[in-house]
């Protein structure tokens, strides 16, 4: 009845047998979450499968009373106003990937990369020019590099450390992890941060720095020293009285070790203090850290989750009810409250000429709240928070991903072999990343300002972007949702310069607008950006699907105003010049077919025309081996995959996870 489905299923099976013949039984998903407490009634979620696919839908937060005005003016300065951020690079919004899941997300090894991952990175590279990824997390502290692992594995977890309250296993890895990262960089321009294991100051295991610098070269941009040292005492990694002074002196021990290691060519790419928020950054600045280690530091960094879901996951801390928490995210006050305690630190960072990085973040720690972290509201929240970070003079913000059993995943590799081509699940945080890349753009000159329109209503935040002295883009949010009257949609009347500011009028005759939309802040899966989507669960090969729709709004050339409507809920990005649109979006997108590249040609290339028209890869269902070897020189965009077996992510995790669904 469906003849094409049969070869495709057999292909999947064959590939599975081929690649996991020996490692099959070791392809397991680690229990990151640990046991769920059952002692408090009403806490245990009814759903017991993997959290990345938790179907729970919460109620949208109630509409505010009185309702904020649904028409208001935004009179923008044509010349850069006071209070602009420092210049922000397009690669501002990056990702943090827990070390222990690298071989689920990036690839099986340096020869077998996950094609959906490459596509997801290519999408951002095409808008921002580059991507930053931090690999690390709790697992980095006790990680050790080894020469080889059984069965050709590159990463392996050891669950013997039962005292570790973060439930993250000590892990061992081979340098092939770093070759895998290098091969990804060569394809999609990813720049990496890694972390030096810091559990043992008498034996820093520096191989990650040695090999990282040797293999990644300029693609390694920083080495984290200590992940959340303010939680070390709580996690039994240091004595109970561990203090900022202790971190200051441990950092000095590492500086000396790095300088004494002839295999480390650049000892001056260290990053600290990476606090979780238990100590204030000022407690570290007051030790003189940023001055004492100024030449060894490449950046200052902090980590922060606005709240936690640890009680529901591990049974410790304070219980937070997700339904109650939802309203705390659907407001500009969330981003403002998180960032206000770091404004002094961004001034400190500027005073020592270091970028300040948000090294690891997401909506809530311990996996985020199901129903918030994985719903449309999180896309609005993540984008608002990212732009607030930029406005607050952070230079890079990396959103965390830690496996199948968390809710805040930007992207989740497929657990089943149901579908040949569409198999990853793309979360709302990835939409935020994609759009942040367009808001900030590849110009690397963006300066961001928080506009606080409509009497600073927390429901309708807005930002303007200036580049080289010109106002180029405006980002408009509407957090309101589920209003059957339709009155919560708003219209912003925007002018640039002119009588409102006493400057020459610079309002254009028309603007271009792209919308981020879903029916409700509670919606899962059905999110569109300029009418394109990555679909719902298991629906994506990492490429946008559907036809892009960019609206043209004609402005009132008598009043010199442009009226922009923003649905509730929704987000609009308004481009004031064609150049402002062009530098946000490289239309000649390079993506990767979800198929297998073999070593039969050592310079296999991807035929971009085939990809561009293949509509998600369906047209290639019957093709195994490689795509057409011809490169399309006319487009000038063909990209080589040297000596690379590129394999789709659909097999990953295979049968082990399918059983649980
Ligand atoms: C990478 O993994 C594939 C699939 O298991 C295997 O065939 C190949 O030999 C591995 N390559 C390396 C360099 O280990
Ligand atoms: C799983 O890995 C362990 C060691 O990492 C190895 O001893 C064992 O043979 C592997 N199992 C299979 C089925 O490959
Ligand atoms: C996923 O997390 C839940 C709790 O949130 C837990 O009950 C379940 O055992 C975990 N599943 C796996 C496969 O780790
Ligand atoms: C921003 O990009 C410039 C190159 O355009 C680079 O020199 C600089 O290091 C980047 N900043 C960050 C924080 O990555
Ligand atoms: C640090 O971690 C390594 C690898 O897990 C372990 O062998 C070592 O004993 C640990 N050191 C301390 C002081 O905990
Ligand atoms: C890709 O990885 C292999 C190791 O398997 C390495 O030999 C090769 O140089 C890497 N290619 C790039 C471009 O880094
Ligand atoms: C900013 O941080 C510095 C260094 O810790 C501290 O001396 C100063 O008091 C702080 N300023 C504010 C306003 O918090
Ligand atoms: C960001 O830095 C710029 C330049 O130092 C400064 O003018 C601006 O006030 C800072 N922004 C915030 C929110 O502190
Ligand atoms: C998906 O969302 C769009 C935009 O909100 C809406 O028009 C469409 O009806 C939705 N589709 C489904 C299947 O819910
Ligand atoms: C939006 O994309 C869909 C395909 O996903 C297409 O059918 C539809 O025509 C597009 N909408 C517009 C207005 O072009």
- Of residues 39 and 43, the one with the higher pLDDT is 43
Q: Which residues contact 2 (CB under 8 A, 6 or more apart)?
A: none
**pLDDT in the model for residue 585:** 77
The pLDDT of residue 196 is above 90: yes
Conformational region of residue 363, where left means phi above 0, alpha means psi within -120 to 50, and beta covers everything else = alpha
Nearest ligand, CA 110: 6
Q: With respect to residue 602, please indicate whether it lies within any of the assigned structural domains.
A: no
Name the residue with the closest Cα to ligand 2, atom 7.
150
Please report the atom of ligand 3 found closest to the CA of residue 313: 5
pLDDT tens profile 477-505: 999 999 999 999 999 999 999 999 999 99
d(CA 384, CA 390): 10
pLDDT tens profile 549-587: 999 999 999 999 999 999 999 999 999 999 999 888 765
Q: With respect to residue 298, please indicate whether it lies within any of the assigned structural domains.
A: yes
Nearest ligand, CA 545: 10
Q: Band the pLDDT of 167: cuts 50, 70, 90.
A: low
Closest by Cα among 237, 240, 235 to 166: 235
Distance 529 CA to ligand 4 centre (A): 27
Distance 447 CA to ligand 1 centre (A): 45
The pLDDT of residue 20 is above 50: no
d(CA 167, CA 159): 9
pLDDT tens profile 288-331: 999 999 999 999 999 999 999 999 888 888 999 999 999 999 99
Token representation of residue 28: 């397991």
pLDDT (average), residues 387-394: 98
The percentage of the chain sitting over the pLDDT mark of 70, rounded to a whole number, equals 79
pLDDT (average), residues 614-621: 22
Q: Band the pLDDT of 650: cuts 50, 70, 90.
A: very low
**pLDDT in the model for residue 646:** 34
Report CA torsion sign: 619, 623, 624, 630.
negative
Q: pTM here?
A: 0.85
Q: Band the pLDDT of 139: cuts 50, 70, 90.
A: confident
**pLDDT in the model for residue 502:** 96
Token representation of residue 653: 């995790």
d(CA 76, CA 546): 34
Report CA torsion sign: 644, 537, 307, 168.
negative
Distance 82 CA to ligand 8 centre (A): 9
Report CA torsion sign: 607, 610, 616, 621.
negative
Which helix (H) or strand (E) covers residue 358, if one does?
strand 356-361
| CB-ligand 1 contact for 109 (6 Å cutoff) | yes
Q: With respect to residue 618, please indicate whether it lies within any of the assigned structural domains.
A: no
Environment class of 552 (CB within 10 Å of its CB; exposed 0-12, middle 13-18, buried 19+): exposed
**pLDDT in the model for residue 590:** 61
The pLDDT of residue 642 is above 80: no
Query: Could you give the 3-state DSSP secondary structure of residue 496?
Result: strand
Question: Taking a C-beta distance cutoff of 8 angstroms, is the pair 374, 45 a contact?
Answer: no
Distance 183 CA to ligand 5 centre (A): 30
Best-predicted range by mean pLDDT (241-250, 628-637, 652-661): 241-250
Mean pLDDT of the chain: 83
The pLDDT of residue 34 is above 80: no
Taking CA atoms, 61 is separated from 151, 337, 520, in Å, by 51, 19, 10
Q: How long is the chain?
A: 661
The pLDDT of residue 17 is above 90: no
Query: Could you give the 3-state DSSP secondary structure of residue 493?
Result: strand
Per the structure, how many domains does the chain have?
Answer: 1
Nearest ligand, CA 547: 10
d(CA 261, CA 206): 8
The pLDDT of residue 418 is above 50: no
Q: With respect to residue 173, please indicate whether it lies within any of the assigned structural domains.
A: yes
The percentage of the chain sitting over the pLDDT mark of 90, rounded to a whole number, equals 71
Token representation of residue 159: 């669950």
**pLDDT in the model for residue 422:** 56
Please report the atom of ligand 3 found closest to the CA of residue 405: 1
**pLDDT in the model for residue 28:** 24
Pocket test for ligand 5, best of 198, 199, 253 (most atoms within 8 A of CB): 199
Residue corresponding to tokens 């990085």 = 357
The pLDDT of residue 16 is above 50: no
Instruction: Provide the CATH number for the domain around residue 169.
Output: 3.20.20.80
Q: With respect to residue 32, please indicate whether it lies within any of the assigned structural domains.
A: no
**pLDDT in the model for residue 652:** 28
Closest by Cα among 534, 561, 643, 549 to 116: 534
pLDDT tens profile 79-123: 999 999 999 999 999 999 999 899 989 998 998 888 899 999 999
Closest by Cα among 368, 348, 445, 452 to 408: 368
Name the residue with the closest Cα to ligand 7, atom 12.
344
The pLDDT of residue 363 is above 80: yes
Name the residue with the closest Cα to ligand 4, atom 8.
89
Cα angle 24, 627, 1 (rounded to 5 degrees) comes to 70
Q: Which residues contact 260 (CB under 8 A, 6 or more apart)?
A: none
Token representation of residue 642: 């040297």
Distance 48 CA to ligand 10 centre (A): 36
Q: With respect to residue 630, please indicate whether it lies within any of the assigned structural domains.
A: no
Range with the poorest average pLDDT among 30-44, 244-258, 441-455, 605-619: 605-619
Q: Band the pLDDT of 158: cuts 50, 70, 90.
A: low
Query: Could you give the 3-state DSSP secondary structure of residue 373?
Result: coil
Radius of gyration, CA atoms only, the chain: 24
| CB-ligand 10 contact for 528 (6 Å cutoff) | no
Distance 312 CA to ligand 3 centre (A): 11
| CB-ligand 1 contact for 571 (6 Å cutoff) | no
Taking CA atoms, 412 is separated from 6, 101, 284, 408, 538, in Å, by 26, 11, 36, 10, 9
Q: With respect to residue 40, please indicate whether it lies within any of the assigned structural domains.
A: no
* Ligand 3 proximal residues by C-beta, below 6 Å: 29, 31, 33, 36, 48, 50-51, 313, 405, 660
Residue corresponding to tokens 């300065």 = 77
The pLDDT of residue 450 is above 50: yes
Q: With respect to residue 452, please indicate whether it lies within any of the assigned structural domains.
A: yes
Domain that includes residue 190, residue range: 67-583
């Amino acid at each position: 009845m469906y003849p094409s489905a049969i070869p495709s299923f057999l292909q999947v099976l064959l590939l599975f047998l081929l690649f996991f013949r020996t490692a099959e039984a070791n392809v397991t998903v680690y229990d990151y979450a640990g046991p769920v407490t059952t002692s408090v009634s009403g806490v245990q979620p009814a759903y017991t499968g993997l959290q990345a696919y938790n179907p729970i839908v919460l109620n949208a937060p109630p509409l505010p009373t009185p309702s904020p005005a649904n028409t208001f003016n935004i009179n923008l300065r044509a010349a850069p106003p006071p209070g602009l951020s420092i210049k922000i690079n397009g690669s501002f919004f990056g990702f943090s990937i827990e070390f222990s899941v690298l071989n689920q997300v990036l690839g099986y090894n340096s020869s077998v990369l996950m094609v959906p991952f490459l596509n997801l990175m290519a999408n951002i590279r095409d808008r921002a020019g580059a991507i930053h990824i931090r690999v690390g997390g709790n697992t980095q502290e006790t990680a050790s590099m080894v020469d080889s692992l059984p069965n050709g594995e590159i990463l392996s977890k050891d669950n013997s450390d039962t005292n570790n309250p973060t439930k993250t296993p000590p892990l061992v890895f081979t340098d092939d992890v770093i070759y895998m990262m290098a091969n990804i960089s060569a394809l999609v321009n990813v720049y990496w941060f890694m972390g030096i294991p810091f559990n043992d100051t008498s034996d820093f295991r520096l191989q990650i720095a040695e090999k990282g610098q040797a293999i990644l070269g300029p693609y390694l941009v920083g080495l984290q020293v200590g992940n959340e040292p303010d939680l070390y005492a709580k996690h039994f990694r240091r004595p109970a009285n561990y203090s900022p002074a202790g971190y200051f002196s441990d950092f000095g021990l590492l500086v000396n070790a790095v300088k004494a290691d002839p295999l480390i060519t650049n000892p001056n790419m260290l990053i600290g203090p990476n606090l979780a928020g238990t100590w204030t950054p000022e407690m570290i600045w007051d030790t003189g850290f940023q001055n004492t280690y100024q030449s060894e530091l490449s950046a200052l960094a902090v980590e922060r989750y606005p709240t936690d879901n640890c009680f529901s996951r591990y049974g410790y801390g304070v219980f937070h009810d997700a339904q109650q928490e939802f309203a705390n995210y659907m407001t500009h006050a969330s981003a403002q409250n998180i960032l206000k305690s770091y404004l002094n630190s961004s001034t400190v960072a500027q005073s020592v000429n270091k970028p300040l990085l948000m090294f690891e973040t997401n909506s809530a720690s311990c996996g985020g709240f199901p129903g918030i972290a994985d719903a449309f509201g999180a896309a609005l929240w993540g984008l608002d928070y990212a732009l607030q970070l930029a406005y607050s003079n952070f230079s890079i913000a990396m959103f965390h991903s830690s496996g199948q059993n968390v809710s805040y995943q930007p992207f989740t590799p497929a657990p089943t072999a149901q579908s040949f081509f569409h198999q990853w699940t793309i979360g709302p945080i990835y939409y935020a990343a994609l759009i942040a890349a367009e808001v900030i753009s590849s110009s690397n000159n963006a300066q961001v300002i928080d506009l606080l329109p409509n009497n600073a209503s927390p429901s309708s935040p807005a930002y303007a972007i200036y580049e080289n002295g010109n106002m180029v883009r405006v980002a408009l949010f509407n957090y309101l949702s589920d209003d059957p009257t339709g009155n919560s949609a708003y219209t912003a009347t925007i002018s640039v310069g002119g009588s409102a500011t006493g400057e020459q009028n610079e309002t254009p005759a028309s603007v271009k607008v792209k919308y981020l939309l879903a029916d409700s802040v509670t919606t899962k899966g059905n999110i569109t950006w300029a009418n394109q989507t990555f679909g719902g669960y298991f629906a994506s090969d990492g490429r946008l699907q559907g036809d892009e729709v960019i609206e043209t709004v004609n402005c009132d050339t008598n009043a010199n105003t442009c009226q922009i409507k923003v649905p509730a809920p929704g987000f609009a990005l308004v481009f004031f010049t064609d150049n402002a649109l062009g530098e946000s979006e490289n239309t000649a997108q390079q993506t990767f077919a979800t198929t297998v590249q073999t070593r039969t040609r050592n310079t296999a290339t991807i035929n971009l025309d085939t990809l561009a028209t293949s509509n998600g890869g369906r047209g290639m269902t019957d093709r195994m081996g490689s795509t057409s070897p011809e490169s399309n020189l006319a487009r000038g965009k063909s990209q080589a995959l040297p000596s690379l077996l590129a394999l789709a992510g659909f097999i990953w995790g295979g049968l082990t996870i399918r059983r649980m669904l």
